[in-house]
Amino acid sequence: MNKKVIGGAAAATAVVALVKGFLPDIRRYLRIRRM
């Protein structure tokens, strides 16, 4: 279970970094997805 927790934390950190780095692209993607 420790490995899963560490993996989850690492994945969450990566997601946060991606969101901060590509926020405009994500907003664009969400808009297209809604339509």
Query: Can you spell out the DSSP letters for 1-35?
Result: -HHHHHHHHHHHHHHHHHHHHSHHHHHHHHHHHH-
The pTM for the full model equals 0.46
What are the residue ranges spanned by the domains of the chain?
2-34
12, pLDDT greater than 80: yes
- Identify the band that residue 35 occupies on the pLDDT scale cut at 50, 70 and 90: low
Check if the beta carbon of residue 11 is closer than 8 Å to that of residue 19. Answer: no
